[in-house]
Amino acid sequence: MSILQIFVPESGCGPTCDWSLREADTVRLGTSTWATLPEAKQIVLILAASRVLFTQVHLPAVGQSKMREMLAFAVEDKLLTEPEKTHTVAGPRTPDGATAVAIIDKAWLRQQIAHLHQHGIHAEKMLAETLLPRWEAQSWSMVWNGQGGFIRTGPNAGFVVDGGDANTPPMALMLALDEARAANTAPVRLLIYLAPGTATPSWPDVKHELRGTWTWQSAETSAASAFNLLQGEFAPPSKARAWTQQMRPALAVLGVIIAVHLLATLGDWVRLKHEQNRLQDAMVSTFKQTFPEATAIVDPALQMRRNLSDLQRTRGVPDSSDFLPLLAQAAPLLRQGHIQALQYAQDKLSFDLLLGDAAQLEDLRAQLCNLALRTEIGAPVATTSGIKVRLTLGMNSATRAQP
């Protein structure tokens, strides 16, 4: 995966930036404007060591949200400003139970992040330069530029030094060593990495080893990746949230299309509902005119058919649901087999039919599909003489009701 590392200096982002691009086993270095930066799968910001203060505090075991609320006030005694003005990030716990903490000026950091976003730069991580030099047990790692530098004192700890020269070590270094000796945590040796073009220091009072030239571009950032400074309000959006932001215009258009479709569907439903009510009122009015003695009108169309059927029967006119009309429509089915029983009741004609084989049963099913009747066929029963099934035929409006 390609990783683009961008250095944010103490003075903040300018018109150009220094960067390094890692792709597989290759590393490219450069200085570019924001518009000409190379593309990469992941963007990591490297923050100048002088912009980050590291310390350690003992915190109770609480949830992440509660810890973020109390973190700034837990380090209040180590600050020269109000806790609300700092971006305080909790890192991993140390072996003695303390929590590593990084402190950054919130207003300055917000300004840098806004500048990057304006140029389309959305980083997933921000690491402190302080934690980039290689750290070894019982040692401190120092990056020296001839007039100052910074020291990594542990996996997630370090501080900045200034002053001193090639013959005199910085006062902050000497004070830190005295404090570490008093706490019995002094390093066995000081590993010194030199910035390019820096003369080798000669500090007889400090036991040290030279480890060659060092630049932030050559450092392996995985050693500091556990302490991501982009947390809290500066935390990068999740992939799902980032995808949603990218798709926001398309989702807005989709929302408009859905809204228009819903409005059109609602309008069509209102129109059809109005037409249904109009037709229902017309049928009720016609039914009342035809049968003024009716009092309960639930389904005027069905009641009209039933009342007309009753009138036909009282005058000797057969109805389609009577025995003979139903029997006439069932006649082609009766030729499929032998009738063993026949029954007519409640406008339904039922009969037991004995078929010769399964082929006749399939032919019977096919013929039932062509009848304009409500048909029911029972489960076939195999007998020694063939296959026995029960058929029930009736009109769709066979059930009678009182007007």
3-state secondary structure of 95: coil
**For range 159-179, the mean pLDDT:** 93
Please state, in angstroms and rounded to a whole number, the distance separating the CA atoms of residues 166 and 331. 119
Each residue's pLDDT tens digit, 277-323: 898 888 888 888 888 887 788 888 878 877 877 777 677 666 666 77
Residue 341 CB partners (closer than 8 Å, separation 6+): 351, 352
Residue 27 lies in a domain: yes
Angle between helix 248-290 and helix 239-246 axes, rounded to 10 deg: 70
Residue 298 lies in a domain: no
Let me know whether 19 and 127 are in one domain.
yes
Residue 244 lies in a domain: no
Let me know whether 64 and 22 are in one domain.
yes
Let me know whether 138 and 209 are in one domain.
yes
Each residue's pLDDT tens digit, 120-157: 999 999 999 999 999 898 999 999 999 999 999 999 99
Let me know whether 53 and 87 are in one domain.
yes
Per-residue pLDDT at 243 exceeds 60:
no
Please state, in angstroms and rounded to a whole number, the distance separating the CA atoms of residues 184 and 129. 27
- Which residue's entry shows tokens 């509902």? 273
Residue 270 lies in a domain: yes
Q: 355 has which bridge partners? A: 387
Let me know whether 113 and 143 are in one domain.
no
The DSSP 8-state label assigned to residue 94 in this structure reads P
Span of 17-26, 168-177, 318-327 with lowest mean pLDDT: 318-327
* Alpha helices (H) along 30-81: 64-74
3-state secondary structure of 2: coil
Let me know whether 16 and 118 are in one domain.
yes
Q: How many structural domains are present in the chain?
A: 4
The domain of 183 spans 134-213
CA dihedral 284, 289, 294, 299 (to 10 degrees): -20
Please state, in angstroms and rounded to a whole number, the distance separating the CA atoms of residues 339 and 388. 10
**Cβ atoms within 10 A of the Cβ of 83, count?**
16
Each residue's pLDDT tens digit, 48-104: 999 999 988 887 766 666 666 667 667 776 776 787 888 888 888 877 788 888 989
Let me know whether 318 and 283 are in one domain.
no
269: Cα within 13 Å, side-chain hemisphere? 6
Please check whether residue 43 is in contact with residue 124, taking contact to mean a CB–CB distance below 8 angstroms: yes
- Which residue's entry shows tokens 């099934």? 389
Q: In the sheet that 86-93 helps form, which strands lie side by side, from edge to edge? A: 53-57, 99-105, 86-93
Let me know whether 110 and 224 are in one domain.
yes
Let me know whether 8 and 154 are in one domain.
no
Residue 403 lies in a domain: no
Please state, in angstroms and rounded to a whole number, the distance separating the CA atoms of residues 224 and 229. 10
Please state, in angstroms and rounded to a whole number, the distance separating the CA atoms of residues 51 and 69. 22
Please check whether residue 198 is in contact with residue 146, taking contact to mean a CB–CB distance below 8 angstroms: yes
Span of 300-309, 319-328, 337-346 with lowest mean pLDDT: 319-328
Q: What is the pTM of this model?
A: 0.59
As a whole number of Å, the end-to-end CA separation of the chain is 81
How many residues are listed for the chain in this entry? Answer: 403
Residue 348 lies in a domain: yes
Please state, in angstroms and rounded to a whole number, the distance separating the CA atoms of residues 200 and 211. 11
Please state, in angstroms and rounded to a whole number, the distance separating the CA atoms of residues 285 and 236. 69
**For range 342-367, the mean pLDDT:** 81
- Most confident of the following: 161-170, 288-297, 346-355: 161-170
Residue 3 lies in a domain: yes
Let me know whether 222 and 98 are in one domain.
yes
- CA distances to 60, 70, 100, 107, 113 from 84, rounded to whole Å, are 21, 11, 19, 10, 18
Span of 192-196, 240-244, 290-294 with lowest mean pLDDT: 240-244
Q: Would you state the structure tokens that stand for residue 248, as one six-digit string?
A: 């926001």
Residue 17 lies in a domain: yes
| Helix H or strand E encompassing 258 | helix 248-290
* pLDDT at res. 80: 66
Q: What share of the chain is helix, strand, coil (3-state, %, to 5)?
A: 35, 30, 35
